[in-house]
Amino acid sequence: MYRRPLFHRLDIESVVVFRALHLGDMLCAVPALRALRASLPKARVTLVGLPWARQFAQRFRSYIDDFVPFPGHPKLPEQEVRHEALTPFYADMCSRRFSLALQLHGNGLVSNEIVAGFGAGTMAGYCRDEPVATEHTVLFPYPELGAESERLLSLVERLGAQAVGDYLEFPLAQADRQELEASGVAPDLAPGSYICVHPGARKRDKCWPPQRFAEVADRLAAEFGVRVVLTGSADEAGLASEVASNMQAKAINAAAPISIGAMAALMKNARLLVCNDTGVSHIAAGLRLKSVVIFSKADIARWAPLDRDQHRCIWDPDAQRSAAVLQHARALLAGTDPGRQRTAGMWPYW
């Protein structure tokens, strides 16, 4: 193995980063992207991701200079393959002559083959088996434990980057606020006067029952005098309506055809978010918005926000723990501690 880290022994003028995933997964990569920019400030960074992620690249333009939509791969489930676009895509990648191709898409079983096709001078990332260290390839064994953001940050640190914080971000633009105001979905809400409840998720089988969200929302509205705003995409308006119909308190249904940025602008001034394990939980972490996140399927140790004081993660696959969700929501709204204990220097899950 080379003793000097990759970033210290190469003149890196351009980097292509591959991570073709959805919102929450992309937000988990922000600490690694921030470290990459801080360590290679003059390098041009190009993100290859799912087509939707053009807006992600624009939002994080302080870390990303260019974006190229990925046409897909038969073994990656996130999108259908656009077969007619594959040859032009790889030809374009090779013509750019990147100094470094950085694989930030999992353990490399499929993605290392994809990234190798970019034709960069050097390739780095994770792999499933033994480490690889040659003149043009550096691969480290994929860590099976740890939070997703920590795994990605650890990779760029091993390549020679210095971490500049493990926190998430979600920068808001004036256009986000203007869109929210123009939409009229949640007018006349004073900052700090409401909580957000997000009952949806990209996969419906990850969702806590609407009746449970309604129960929690009603109790918090009665006890803390807060208004309840139901957030979601336009496709989730029906689910939000189902929550509202099960509530005694009058809720604002803000599940509407607005952008992710406008929804985040709405969440920014809330006192609390209650949601499923989905991308909005990472938006909340980026906004420093307190949250209670209900997990039912995903690896909670991998996908829970790092700050377990401000973001309480409840494991409830059978939808039987509304009392625990209420306990931690109350604690966050009141600024009190519900009597938990530290374990190995970290807050446990509940």
- Per-residue model confidence as pLDDT tens digits over 147-200: 999 999 999 999 999 889 999 999 999 999 999 999 999 888 999 999 999 999
The residue to which tokens 């550096």 are assigned: 138
305-331: average pLDDT = 96
**CATH class assigned to 6-158:** alpha beta
Q: 195 - beta bridge partners?
A: 228
Does 342 score more than 50 pLDDT?
no
- What is the tens place of the pLDDT at every residue in 110-141? 999 999 999 999 999 999 989 999 989 999 99
C-alpha pair distances (Å), 289 with each of 135, 235, 240, 271, 293: 45, 24, 21, 7, 12
Predicted pLDDT of residue 206: 82
Residue boundaries of the structural domains of the chain = 6-158, 176-334
pLDDT tens sequence across 59-71:
999 999 999 999 9
Whether pLDDT at 344 is above 50? no
Please give the pLDDT value at position 248.
97
Q: What is the pLDDT of residue 4?
A: 84
- How much is the average pLDDT of 86-103? 98
Q: Is pLDDT above 50 for 15? A: yes
According to CATH, what is the number of the domain 176-334? 3.40.50.2000
Q: 76, 26 in Cβ contact below 8 A? A: no
Region of 108 (left: φ > 0; alpha: ψ -120 to 50; beta: rest) is left
Q: How far is CA 37 from CA 31, 32, 42, 151, 173, in A?
A: 10, 9, 8, 17, 21
pLDDT at 188: 87
Residue 140 near residue 131, CB atoms below 8 Å: yes
pLDDT-derived band at 2, boundaries 50, 70, 90? low
200 and 240 Cβ atoms separated by less than 8 Å: yes
Pairing of strands 137-141, 132-133: antiparallel
What is the Cα–Cα distance from 257 to 108, expressed in whole angstroms? 36
User: Mean of the pLDDT values across residues 50-58?
Assistant: 98
Q: Same topology for domains 6-158 and 176-334, yes or no?
A: yes
Tell me the C-alpha distance between 178 and 201, whole Å: 25
Rounded to an integer, the average pLDDT of 240-253 is: 97
What is the share, in percent, of the chain residues with pLDDT greater than 70?
95
Global pTM value: 0.93
Q: State the Cα–Cα distance between residues 150 and 57, nearest whole angstrom.
A: 21
Element (DSSP H or E) covering residue 141: strand 137-141
SS3 string of 31-89? HHHHHHHHHCCCCEEEEEECHHHHHHHHHCCCCCCEEEECCCCCCCCCCCCCHHHHHHH
Asked if 67 and 46 touch (Cβ cutoff 8 Å), the reply is: yes
For 275-292, write each residue's pLDDT tens digit: 999 999 999 999 999 999
The pLDDT of residue 341 is above 60? no
Is the confidence at residue 77, as pLDDT, over 90? yes
Confidence band for 335, pLDDT divided at 50, 70 and 90: confident
**Tens of pLDDT, residues 262-277:** 999 999 999 999 999 9
Q: Alpha carbon of 133 to those of 79, 108, 124, 141, 154: distances in Å?
A: 32, 15, 9, 11, 17
Give the residue-averaged pLDDT of 199-227. Answer: 94
Q: What is the pLDDT of residue 337?
A: 57
pLDDT for res 336: 64
The rounded mean pLDDT for the chain is: 94
pLDDT at residue 343 greater than cutoff 70: no
Give CA separation, 120 vs 7, 98, 117, in Å: 15, 5, 8
CB 350, CB 340: distance < 8 Å: yes
